[in-house]
Structure 1
């Protein structure tokens, strides 16, 4: 029973650390974007997308790195709680020792109460998190099955390498997705009347494959059950969706030399079709559409299309940024992400500073007890 409780505490601590790390990742990426803007690279959407994907991947690999380097990390007090205590013992904070220990121990007490289902609040919180996780997981599975049905209803056109082109008489906007081994590009039948639009849509979806956007969308869809309540997750996913489209548009205009006006008109035509009632791709995850518009929220989605068109019309055709600048920003981002993950870990054992704090608290309590005893003895004398 004791081992089960310890294991549950480890799992809950890891879950809390992962959610806190998402806030750190978003803050670091936001800072990196501000730096890019100051260097005249505000329109370097490909670099911004690479940075965001890179720092998110680093966050996902943090548990593996920490596990492999646990022997080295455990030799040092690489923990935010130990650093706070160290600064307190140096006199940087004016606070009672007992209060400081209470603040330091509060997270571990919360985890123990949560695991032990101590009180109505903890039981309710555990039920809400469990229900949300199960609900969003079921939603992801249902979405995957719906996507499979759409693909099965399509008509095969041709296969080139690992990419299969399909024609659909129900889908109104081109989109791309993938299975375990094959990738799919679905073209609406109504779009075949304009082959210029078809060529631009296919080039767009192939660029999404090059950027690994479909894989990222699927990964985020299955991560949502774990982070459904975390606003940082939705901010990151929103920016991933925005940047992947802008980076894709920018790359196509740069490499394929499509006419910007013709490309924007193609986007607008696809946007009008996607807002029609009954478009199955409007609310479908795990696929990347040519124009991602939710028919239930046209005002919000239309602003995204507007941003894409404004970015294209203001694009001067130059290739923004360089690999050197990208690496100079990515390396510190990954480093700070890894350091943050290490610092947020719950300490495996008591450090020397925490033992010192505990000793000071015990002395404080002993002094308080002695003072109370003296006050009780004096009146009797």
Structure 2
């Protein structure tokens, strides 16, 4: 169990940081939506991707920090949240009994112990849900990759440009982009070749996705699903990424010279209509489609998202040249998350403050015992 404990604690840490990062992002988005940058979707997407990457790097940062402390001989960590709380308690900043406060500090360690031992039906059920859920989503990912490979095998190569291949399929209703280990692919429905205007707009859209590295981010987020499927923050973050990448892509396409906004909207509508009329199966992973085609509640969710995309395009602006320096703000937010990760690590040893807290707890227990022992 001692081998599994650090892995599970890292798993808990990364899920906590994920929830904190989503809260941080909601605050950032709230401020940006009330500023002249409310339509800077490319900047928002880059900042959100930076936060997502910081979350995924959390276990490695904690590991490197622990190794660095050992190499440098650092004992007490001044950034440790637990030690800061103990110091605040001793100064009277927290109004709790010493035993209650100590129990609160030890709650996570005790919960980890119960979870790993699975010593009650509740902890056993929680353990089973997490393990079976992770296995289910990992199997689902493998099945989707297999289906994607089979779909790609049935396609015909139309054009090849460096490491990019344009494929044509008789069975695909909605264009999408994906990639392999070495090559990138844009898969087009065969009927699209007879509509040159739509073909040009679709290629602009999908190539912009490739420039934004949206396919790589989609693969990364889907591979993380087995570890975060139970965390609502993961779903919120992924949905935010999906919305922003489409808005950023649309913005880049419609602001390009020679793009007819009405023709582009008509193209999206036709693609969505074909997806529903031809009963196209939605591709969950690891692809980025032209339009989302999902049949939940008769497709109302997909229709609403497409409507929002079109309304946004009518109020578009090109922020490409004006926000270059602001992209570095994502580094600041990532640094904040890294400090949170460091602060959540266990204290290296017993400090003077902790010994004082332990003494107060013992005195409290002794006083309680003496009170009950009186006749």
> One fold, TM greater than 0.5?
yes
Residues 1:50 and 1:249: Cα distance change in structure 2 (over 3 Å): same
Could you tell me how far 1:261 is from its partner in structure 2?
Answer: 1.1
Hey, what does 1:14 align to over in structure 2?
A: 10
User: What runs of 5+ residues in structure 1 fail to find an aligned partner?
Assistant: 377-381
The 4+ residue runs of structure 1 with deviation greater than 4 A are: 316-321
Could you tell me how far 1:320 is from its partner in structure 2?
Answer: 7.4
1:228 aligns with 2:229: yes
Distance 2:332 2:351 in 1: 28
Distance 1:318 1:265 in 2: 25
Distance 1:333 1:318 in 2: 21
Could you tell me how far 1:83 is from its partner in structure 2?
Answer: 1.8
The answer to whether the 8 Å contact 1:45/1:246 transfers is: yes
The answer to whether the 8 Å contact 1:47/1:321 transfers is: no
Equivalent in 57, 65, 68 of residue 53 of structure 2: 57
Hey, what does 2:342 align to over in structure 1?
A: 342
Query: How many residues are treated as equivalent by the alignment?
Result: 369
The answer to whether the 8 Å contact 1:25/1:55 transfers is: yes
295-304 or 137-146, larger mean C-alpha shift: 295-304
The answer to whether the 8 Å contact 2:165/2:183 transfers is: yes
Could you tell me how far 1:317 is from its partner in structure 2?
Answer: 5.0
Hey, what does 2:119 align to over in structure 1?
A: 118
The answer to whether the 8 Å contact 1:164/1:182 transfers is: yes
Distance 1:90 1:257 in 2: 67
Hey, what does 1:323 align to over in structure 2?
A: 324
The answer to whether the 8 Å contact 2:62/2:345 transfers is: no
Hey, what does 1:274 align to over in structure 2?
A: 275
Hey, what does 1:351 align to over in structure 2?
A: 351
Hey, what does 1:98 align to over in structure 2?
A: 99
Could you tell me how far 1:79 is from its partner in structure 2?
Answer: 2.3
166-175 or 340-349, larger mean C-alpha shift: 340-349
235-244 or 197-206, larger mean C-alpha shift: 197-206
Distance 1:295 1:283 in 2: 12
Hey, what does 2:302 align to over in structure 1?
A: 301
Hey, what does 1:249 align to over in structure 2?
A: 250
Could you tell me how far 1:256 is from its partner in structure 2?
Answer: 4.3
Distance 2:181 2:200 in 1: 26
Equivalent in 16, 22, 28 of residue 26 of structure 1: 22
Could you tell me how far 1:109 is from its partner in structure 2?
Answer: 0.3
Tell me the TM-score normalised to structure 2 length: 0.94
State the superposition RMSD in angstroms.
1.7
Could you tell me how far 1:74 is from its partner in structure 2?
Answer: 5.1
Cα distance per residue 1:102-134 (max 9 Å; x no partner): 111111001001111111111111111111000
Distance 1:222 1:158 in 2: 30
